[in-house]
Amino acid sequence: MEKTAARLGIGGAVGSGKTALLEGLIPILLEKGIDVAVVTNDLLTTEDADRLKRKALLPPAKIMAVETGSCPHTAIREDPSMNLLAIEDLEFQFPNLDLILIESGGDNLASTFSYDLVDAYIFVIDVGAGDDIPRKNGPGFVGADLTVINKIDLAPYVGADLEVIRRDTKIYRRGKPAIYTNCKLGTGLDQVVEFISQKVLFQEAETEEVKSQQINSSSVAEQLCQP
Ligand SMILES: Nc1nc2c(ncn2[C@@H]2O[C@H](COP(=O)(O)OP(=O)(O)OP(=O)(O)O)[C@@H](O)[C@H]2O)c(=O)[nH]1
Ligand SMILES: [Mg+2]
């Protein structure tokens, strides 16, 4: 049977750090031997794909840009055909891909992915946008398979209380995983890769420490909620 790559969406508000998350994740995934490619979505440009190509984290042919030309969520939910074509193209060129990461254009808290397009999706929020974001109960934040709470370093500068974010995230995500990151420094990115390995690629936990955590903890979600 032909191999197809797993597909992981990355959504979230404009500027929340979706591309920064990709920039942090790609080297760790490659280090682990995961063959990865990326599709970026931008409204009317190829800005994010160009940025990733400049950084040379992947061969340019493994970075494809989709110019949505419309509301970003349309291209990841209502009509994902442009993204599906990009994925088809990548899989044709690189038949051994393990994982395709699809960055949505920046959108609002209601932005969710169609599971016709992805196997799972991450929703990124920005601590700099305020500590009330989790309790706004946005479908993207609440429904994502993983929420990444990014820019934790900015909390003291914008008066955001990480304890409030932590409390409300547990309530509104109902125990589904959340990981706290600083993409500038790489904080939390190993945990995101652990999530991808286990929940998207269905790989075994690698370290004895992680294995014993799984045995001792009631759920992976609970562990991943810890910042
Ligand atoms: N301080 C801080 N800045 C960050 C962090 N992550 C990203 N940034 C900065 O936030 C800005 C936006 O990051 P991007 O990665 O471009 O955000 P994005 O979500 O991809 O933006 P769009 O694709 O335009 O929606 C950039 O200036 C990043 O350097 C972080 O953890 N801490
Ligand atoms: Mg981006």
Which amino acid would we find at residue 194? Answer: E
Give the pLDDT score at 212.
47
Confidence band (pLDDT; 50, 70, 90) for 207?
A: low
Ligand number nearest CA of 154 is: 1
Considering the domain boundaries, does residue 38 fall inside one? yes
Considering the domain boundaries, does residue 215 fall inside one? yes
Give the pLDDT score at 137.
95
Confidence band (pLDDT; 50, 70, 90) for 214?
A: very low
Rounded Cα distance, 206 and 28, in Å: 14
What string of DSSP letters covers 145-158? Answer: SEEEEE-GGGHHHH
CB of 48 within 6 A of ligand 1: the answer is yes
Across 3-7, 154-158, 159-163, least confident range: 3-7
What CATH number did the domain enclosing 214 receive? 3.40.50.300
Considering the domain boundaries, does residue 1 fall inside one? no
Rounded Cα distance, 162 and 202, in Å: 31
Phi, psi of 70 (to 5 degrees): -150, -175
pTM for the full model?
A: 0.92
pLDDT tens digits along 167-195: 999 999 999 999 999 999 999 999 999 99
Tokens 């060129």 belong to 93
Rounded Cα distance, 169 and 149, in Å: 9
pLDDT above 90: percentage of residues in the chain: 85
Confidence band (pLDDT; 50, 70, 90) for 138?
A: very high
CB of 106 within 6 A of ligand 1: the answer is yes
CB of 15 within 6 A of ligand 1: the answer is yes
Rounded Cα distance, 146 and 225, in Å: 10
Confidence band (pLDDT; 50, 70, 90) for 1?
A: low
The residue nearest atom 8 of ligand 1, judged by CA position, is 17
Considering the domain boundaries, does residue 89 fall inside one? yes
Q: In which domain, by residue range, is 94 found?
A: 6-224
Give the pLDDT score at 82.
96
Rounded Cα distance, 109 and 13, in Å: 7
Domain count, the chain: 1
Cα of 36 vs centre of ligand 1, distance in Å, is: 21
CB of 183 within 6 A of ligand 1: the answer is yes
At residue 221, does pLDDT exceed 70? no
pLDDT tens digits along 34-79: 999 999 999 999 999 999 999 999 999 999 999 998 888 999 999 9
CB of 52 within 6 A of ligand 1: the answer is no
Give the pLDDT score at 226.
44
Considering the domain boundaries, does residue 143 fall inside one? yes
Considering the domain boundaries, does residue 125 fall inside one? yes
SS3 call for 2: coil
Residue 141 DSSP code? H
